[in-house]
Amino acid sequence: MRKIVLKVSSIDKLRFQNFIVLMQKAESKAEADMYFRLAKKIIQKGDLKQN
């Protein structure tokens, strides 16, 4: 897996990793999409702080 550098708090980093694991274990596509969107929000929050 590619290493992603997030400019967010350590809590957000843990939350992001948790969403990725949950996404991989998801039973349905809808569930995986939900975790993907939540993880994407954290990345966007990091982008906003960076600029």
pTM for the model: 0.72
Cα distance between residue 27 and residue 25, in whole Å = 6
- Per-residue pLDDT at 25: 92
- pLDDT beneath 70: ranges in the chain: 1-6, 50-51
- Per-residue pLDDT at 48: 78
| Burial class of residue 32, CB neighbours in 10 A (0-12, 13-18, 19+) | middle
Cα distance between residue 10 and residue 15, in whole Å = 9
